[in-house]
Structure 1
Amino acid sequence: FNGNDLEPVWGKGENYYYLSELNDNNLNVFQAGLSDPAQPKQLTFYKKNPVRGLSRSDKGRLCFTQGGRIVTLIPGEKPATVPITIQADFAQQITRTMMVGNQHISEMALSPDGKEVAFVYRGDIYATSPDGHTTKRLTNTPYQERMIQFSPDGRSIIYSVEKSGSWDIDKLHIANSKELYFYASTIVDNIPVIATPADEFQPVYSPDGKKIAYLESRNILKVYNTETKKTVTVIPKGVNFSYSDGDQYFTWSPDSKWLLAQSNEGTFVRSEVDLVKADGSGKRVNLTQSGFDDRRPKWGMKGKMMAWISNSEGMKNLARGSQGDVYALFFSQKAFDKFILSKQDYDLLKEEQKKNKADEKKENSGEKKAKQKTEPLQLNLKNRDSRTKRLTINSSILSDFILSKDGEKLYYLAKYEKGFDLWETEPRTHKTKVLARLNSKSGGRLAIDKSGKNIFVLAGGRISKVSVANGKVSPLAIRANMEWDPAAERAYIFEHAWRQVKNKLFDPN
C-alpha cells in the first residue's frame, strides 16, 4: 500500500507491534506475527492525530503518544489515557510555613561539650538540644548554608554560604554572653569571615580557635589566621580534583600545627592521606602511598596516631564504589607497642600505672595542680609502615567511624547486607558486635559527646543518640518551622546550576 510502517517493537513469542497507515492515512497501532505478517490486526482506530513513540513493557503493556496525550494499551482492551496533573508556577509563588522534623537532614555538628546539635535542613541551619525537644532556626535564606562546625568554645558556628555570586565563609555567634546555647539564644549575630570573589568553603576551626582551614576554588587547601587575617596555602592548585562540592576532607591535629588531608595527588577517583604543616612550610608527606582509595583520616589518642578508611582489602567496583576497612598508623613507637599488647598484658600495665598515679598523688598532695597544656606533637614518620594496623575484622561499605579517646573502642557506620548499622569493635581483642540496629538506607556521620557515653548518628537523613553502654537508639524529637519561599529557592537553584556548569564543566580553551 502507499503508506508508512514505523517503530516496530517485539511482543511475546513471534508477535510484534508497529505503527502503520494501513486502512487510512493516520498512524495507528497494529499487531502481526512472523508466521503470517501479511495479516496484521489493527488495535487502535484514531482518525485524527497519529500515534507516535510506541514502546512495550516486559509485562506486555503498550505505551504511545496521541493527540498530545500519553496513552497505554493492553492488547484486547481499550486504550487508556494516563492522567497527568501539572502544577503551574503561579501556584507556588506564595511563601508558606513548613514543618521541620527529624528527616531529610543533610548535615550534623555536635558542640564541644556535647550539649547542643546543629544541623542543616533544606539549606538552612538549625540548633537543637541533645534530645531535640528545643529547636531554633538560625538562618532563613533561599540559598545554601552548609559545611557547619562549632568553634572550640561552642559560642560560634562557622559555615559556608553561596550568595552574591560565590561561596563565602560566615559565622553565627551568640550575642548575649550570658546565654550558653544557640537553641535557647535570643539574638544570634551573623558575621562575615572570609569573602572574596573566589569560592571559599568547608571551613574547619583549629582546636586552639586561632586558625581556620578551608578550600579555595574547591581544591586549594588554605589556612586563615583569625588574629593576623593572613592566609597561607598548604596544598596548592593541581594536586586535588573536586568532583562535587564537599568531597574533599581535612582535619586538624590536637596541637593546631598540622593537618591531615585527603589528597588525590594528581589522580582522579582515588585518594591518599597527606600530612601538611599548617603554616605552609615544608613539603606535604604522603602517609599512605597505597595506590588504593584512602580517605577520612582522623587523629586519635591525643595525636599519637591517625585512623582512616582504605579499600585496599575490600571488594571493588570497576567504576566507583568499594568496601573498606579502618586502619591505624602510629606516630609513636611507644604508643604502638602499647596498642598491640594482649588484653592480659595491657590489664597488668594499667594496674601498674594506676598504682604509680596513686603514689604520685600522695607525693604531690600539697601542690596546686597546673592547668594542662597541649604539647606540640612529636611525629615519628620513619618506618611508619611497621606501625600500621588494620582495626576492622572484615571489609564493609563504610560511611564513617570514630575512636574512643583511649583507642580501645572503634565505632563505625557500616553496611554488610541490608542497611547501615552502628558497629563496635575492640581492636585489642577483635571482639565485634552490632551496637545499634539502624537499618538505614544511606550512611552519614558520627559524633561522640565529651563524656564518651553517647554517639550522635546522622543516617538516612535522621539524627539519633545512641547509648554506648547498651546501644539504645533515641531519635531526636526535632520540631520546628521554616518559611519556604519557592520562587526565591528556584531562582537560587538556577543560579547555582549555571555557576557549576561555568566553573566545572565549560572550558573556554
Structure 2
Amino acid sequence: MIGYAASLFLFLSLSSPGKASGILSPSPSPDGKEIAFSYYGDIWIVKADGGMARRLTDSDAFESTPVWSPDGCYIAFLSDRDGSDDIYVIPSTGDEPPRRLTYHSSWDVPYFFNDRGDTLYFGSRRLEYRGALYKISISGGTPVKAVDFSLFNVRPIPGTDTVLFVRGATPSWRRKYRGSANWDIWKMSLKNQIPVRLTRFNGRDGWPMYSALDGRIYFVSNNTPDSTAQLFSMKPDGSDRKRITDFDDDVRFARISRNGELIAFQVFTDLYTYSVRSGEIKRIDVQVQEDYKNSEYYRQKLTRNATEFALSPDESELAFVLFGDIYVMEIKEDGPGTIKRITHTPEPEKYVSWHPKEEKLIFASLKSGNWDIYTVEPASEKKFFRDYSFRWKRIISSSATEKKPSYSPDGKKIAFIRDNGTLYVADSNGKKEKKLYDKNDVLWVSWSPDSRYIAFSRTELAWREDVYIVPAEGGRAYNITQHPNDDYKPMWSSDGRRLSFASRTAEGDLWIKYVFLREEDEARDRDYWKEMEDSLDSIRPIEIDFDGIKERIHEVAKLRGGYNYYTQSPDGRIYAIQAETPSGTDIWTVDWLGEKLRRRTQGGVNPKLIAISRDKKHIYYLDGKGRLKRISLDGKGNTPLSFEIEVEIPDTALKRALFEEAWWILKDGFYDPNFHGVDWSFLAEKYRDLAISRRTDRDFHYAVRMMLGELNASHLG
C-alpha cells in the first residue's frame, strides 16, 4: 500500500513547476532551516534559502497558519476541510495524513506549542465575542481556557511561562490605521496572568517575537513617516525601538524560529527573511509543483439565489437575474414554462426592466469593464422564451457608472443613474442625455403614467431620504415630503391622482403613505372614493398642485420594519409590504384606504422583491433564499416558479468579474470622493492579477481585503 507522503509525491511528480507568488502566513522551523507557509489553500515547506517547495497537505479546503512543534516533528495548522476553521496536526515529514484536533463551529487559530510540545495553545471565539486563549493536548481531548480575555498574535518566550501578545480591534489588512482600536504589544506570565503593556504607540504594533540570540523583541509597526508597516526590534521592557526594514509596502505576518535566528514575513506577494545574527534581509524565491487541483471552470446547479426579477408588461414572461446573467421564464397558469438564458457573460448584469411596448429588456452590465446600459431583444421570434439568439446593444456608455435604467411609459425616454446617484434622462436610443438634478444619492426612481414627470427619493441627511418630483424635461425639483422620517420608493397610481411612498423611523416603525397630487382630490371624502373610484377617468396630462402638497400626505398603514421593500398594484389600489413577524418578515397587503390588512405569507419568507399582477389576483415575490414564487390573493394557491439551471464559467473570468464588481462598488459608493488620499484606479492595477490568480475563494477574498485595506476605513471587508 502506498503511504500518504509517497502517493502525494507521485501525484505531484506529474505536474509542472512554477514560481509561488502570494504566499501567506510563513513560519520558520525551530532551527530556522525551513519555512512552512500557506499557498493555494494548502500547507507547504521550503528550505529557508528558497527553491522547490514540498506540499504537506492536499485538500479542497483552505489551510493556513502553520505552527511548528518545538522539536520540528509536527505542524499544527488551521483548516476548514470539515466546515468550520478547526486545528489539525500533521507530521512535518508528511508521513501521515492530518489529524483533527479541535471541533467547534467557531473559528480556532493555532498560536504556539508549549516547551514540551505536548500542548497547543490556540485562540477561539467559542465562548467569547472577542475570543480568548485556550490550550489542548496534541493527543486530543477537551480544550481548557488558559486566558479569559481578548488577545491575539500570542507568541511564547521559549523556556519561560511568559507570552507576548497583542490587544486591539482592527483587521490585519487595514493599512496605516490610527485610532482607538490600535494594536499594542503586551507580555504576561501564564501563571500569574498579570499583563504588562510594552507599547503605547498611536498606531499598530503587532506580531511580537522574542529572540534569545540577542534578548530583544521583534515586531511589526507602522510607526514610520509614511505609516507603512515595517519590522522593528525593542528591548524586553519596550524601550530602545529600532527600525529594521524599509519596504514600500507593508510587512505582514512575521514569525520567528524557536532558536531566535530567522524571521520570515511577507511583503505584498513576496516572501522575505531576516537573519537576527547577520542582519541580512533576503527575498526568498519559492518554486512549487503546479497540479491545478481545482477545475478551470466554475460549475454549479442552481435552484435558488436569484437576485431580482421583473414581470413583462403583458405578464406572460418574467425576467430574472441568476448568478449575474439574465433569464426569461414563460409564465403559465399552472407555473413556469420554458426558460431561456438571455445573457451569457462572466461579468454581472443588473437592474433589468422591460420596454413598455416592445419585446425588449434594458439593464446595466459590467461587460465592457465598467457599468454601461444595454438593451437586448429576441433575434427572430416575438417572445424571448421562444427564441434561441438575442441581439445586444450598448446604448449608454461612458467612463462613469450608469445603472438602474427604466423606460418611460410611452417608451420614448430612459431614466438612469450615473456615478454616485445622479439622475439623468435620455432618448430611448441613449442619445440627448440630460441631468435632471444636480445633487447625487438618488436611490429610487419612478415615471409618472403620462411620462411627463419623474418622482425620486434621495438621501438628504445621514440615512434619511426625501421624495421629490421633477419634470422629465428638466426644471425645478420639488421636495414633497420634507420629513424627519426616511421617505423612500415613490410610486405613481395609474390614474395619476396619487403618489405613494414608504416611510420609516430608526425605531422600526414602517408606514405606507400617499399624497394627493391635486387639491381637488384632497377635498373629497372617503365615502366619495369608495363610491366613485371605478368610474373616474385617469388624469391626462397629470396635474400637480405643489403648493401645500405636504399637507395632503395620508397614512395608509403602520407596520414593523426597517428599510423594507414594498410595492403597489399598477392602479395603486393595493399595497404589498415586507413587514416583520416573530419568524422573520412576511408579505402583508392593504388597500389604499387602509382597509383589509392581511398577512399573505407565513413562516418568514423574507421577501426581497414583490410585484402585484394587473388584475390584483396574484403576488409574485423573490424570497430570502432567492426562490421565485407566486401566490393567489384569493387564498387558493402558492405556486413555486421553480428553476434548475446549470452554470459553467471559466474560473479566471469569474474571479476577474468579481474583482471588478467589488472595485466598482467602492468606486461609486465610498463616502470620500478622494478615497482617503489613495489612487483607487492604481490599486485596481496593483491587486487585480493577485486576486485573479488565487485558487481558493478565501485566498481571493484576502487579496480583495488587502485592496480595501488600502482605504484605511472601517466596516470594509
Q: CA deviation at 1:173?
A: 0.9
Code of the residue aligned with 1:283 in structure 2: it is R
The CA RMSD measured in Å over matched residues stands at 3.5
The structure 2 residue matched to 1:508, chosen from 677, 685, 688, is: 677
The structure 1 residue matched to 2:657, chosen from 492, 496, 505, is: 492
- Taking structure 2 as the reference length, what is the TM-score of the superposition? 0.53
2:447 is the alignment partner of 1:378: no
Q: CA deviation at 1:406?
A: 4.9
The structure 1 residue matched to 2:330, chosen from 95, 114, 129, is: 129
Return closer, same or farther for 1:89/1:249 CA change in 2, 3 Å cut-off: farther
Q: Report SS of the residue matched to 2:440.
A: coil
The structure 2 residue matched to 1:435, chosen from 600, 604, 607, is: 600
CA–CA separation in structure 1 for the residues paired with 2:598 and 2:430: 49
Return closer, same or farther for 1:471/1:507 CA change in 2, 3 Å cut-off: farther
The structure 1 residue matched to 2:580, chosen from 410, 415, 430, is: 415
Equivalent residue number for residue 293 of structure 1 = 486
CA–CA separation in structure 1 for the residues paired with 2:594 and 2:432: 47
CA–CA separation in structure 2 for the residues paired with 1:118 and 1:195: 23
CA–CA separation in structure 2 for the residues paired with 1:96 and 1:202: 28
Code of the residue aligned with 1:331 in structure 2: it is L
RCO (CA 8 Å, sep 6+): is it higher in 1 or 2? 1
CA–CA separation in structure 1 for the residues paired with 2:572 and 2:522: 11
2:436 is the alignment partner of 1:234: yes
The structure 2 residue matched to 1:190, chosen from 384, 387, 392, is: 392
Write the mapping of 1:134-283 to structure 2, written as runs, cut at 5 A.
134-176=338-380, 179-226=381-428, 229-236=431-438, 239-241=439-441, 248-265=443-460, 267-280=461-474, 282-283=475-476
Return closer, same or farther for 1:92/1:287 CA change in 2, 3 Å cut-off: farther
Q: CA deviation at 1:496?
A: 2.8
Code of the residue aligned with 2:490 in structure 1: it is P
Equivalent residue number for residue 31 of structure 1 = none
Q: Report SS of the residue matched to 2:468.
A: strand
CA–CA separation in structure 2 for the residues paired with 1:378 and 1:71: 77
The structure 2 residue matched to 1:105, chosen from 306, 311, 314, is: 306
> Which shifted more, 289-298 or 223-232?
223-232
Code of the residue aligned with 1:120 in structure 2: it is V
CA–CA separation in structure 1 for the residues paired with 2:330 and 2:430: 35
Q: CA deviation at 1:412?
A: 1.8
Query: 2:556·2:594 contact (CA, 8 Å) conserved in 1?
Result: no
Q: CA deviation at 1:141?
A: 1.2
Return closer, same or farther for 1:347/1:377 CA change in 2, 3 Å cut-off: closer
Q: CA deviation at 1:420?
A: 2.1
Write the mapping of 1:56-135 to structure 2, written as runs, cut at 5 A.
57-58=126-127, 73-75=142-144, 90-95=292-297, 97-101=299-303, 103-130=304-331, 131-135=335-339
Query: 1:64·1:72 contact (CA, 8 Å) conserved in 2?
Result: no
Equivalent residue number for residue 613 of structure 2 = 449
Q: Report SS of the residue matched to 2:614.
A: coil
> Which shifted more, 480-489 or 282-291?
480-489
Code of the residue aligned with 1:138 in structure 2: it is I
Q: CA deviation at 1:275?
A: 0.9
CA–CA separation in structure 2 for the residues paired with 1:430 and 1:331: 21
Q: Which string of whole-angstrom CA distances, capped at 9 and with x for unpartnered residues, describes residues 394-416 of structure 1?
A: 44346322334554432222223
Equivalent residue number for residue 28 of structure 1 = none
Q: Which string of whole-angstrom CA distances, capped at 9 and with x for unpartnered residues, describes residues 72-117 of structure 1?
A: 84349xxxxxxxxxxx99333422553232x111111110011100
CA–CA separation in structure 1 for the residues paired with 2:429 and 2:375: 15
Return closer, same or farther for 1:418/1:257 CA change in 2, 3 Å cut-off: same
CA–CA separation in structure 1 for the residues paired with 2:615 and 2:377: 25
CA–CA separation in structure 2 for the residues paired with 1:292 and 1:431: 25
Return closer, same or farther for 1:413/1:507 CA change in 2, 3 Å cut-off: same
2:494 is the alignment partner of 1:309: no
Equivalent residue number for residue 526 of structure 2 = 341
CA–CA separation in structure 2 for the residues paired with 1:382 and 1:374: 19
Query: 1:155·1:174 contact (CA, 8 Å) conserved in 2?
Result: yes
Query: 1:98·1:484 contact (CA, 8 Å) conserved in 2?
Result: no
Return closer, same or farther for 1:202/1:403 CA change in 2, 3 Å cut-off: closer
Equivalent residue number for residue 10 of structure 1 = none
Return closer, same or farther for 1:149/1:283 CA change in 2, 3 Å cut-off: same
Query: 2:395·2:429 contact (CA, 8 Å) conserved in 1?
Result: no
Q: CA deviation at 1:479?
A: 2.8
Equivalent residue number for residue 477 of structure 1 = 642
CA–CA separation in structure 2 for the residues paired with 1:167 and 1:484: 20
> Which shifted more, 194-203 or 401-410?
401-410
CA–CA separation in structure 2 for the residues paired with 1:480 and 1:350: 45
Return closer, same or farther for 1:301/1:337 CA change in 2, 3 Å cut-off: farther
Code of the residue aligned with 2:617 in structure 1: it is K
CA–CA separation in structure 1 for the residues paired with 2:351 and 2:465: 21
CA–CA separation in structure 1 for the residues paired with 2:125 and 2:616: 58
Q: Report SS of the residue matched to 1:149.
A: strand
CA–CA separation in structure 2 for the residues paired with 1:487 and 1:146: 21
CA–CA separation in structure 2 for the residues paired with 1:430 and 1:223: 37
Q: Report SS of the residue matched to 2:647.
A: strand
Return closer, same or farther for 1:480/1:301 CA change in 2, 3 Å cut-off: same
Q: Report SS of the residue matched to 2:662.
A: helix
Equivalent residue number for residue 47 of structure 1 = 116
Equivalent residue number for residue 396 of structure 1 = 561
Q: Report SS of the residue matched to 2:526.
A: coil
Q: CA deviation at 1:492?
A: 1.8
> Which shifted more, 214-223 or 470-479?
470-479
Code of the residue aligned with 2:423 in structure 1: it is L
Identity of aligned residues (%): 25
Q: Report SS of the residue matched to 1:271.
A: strand
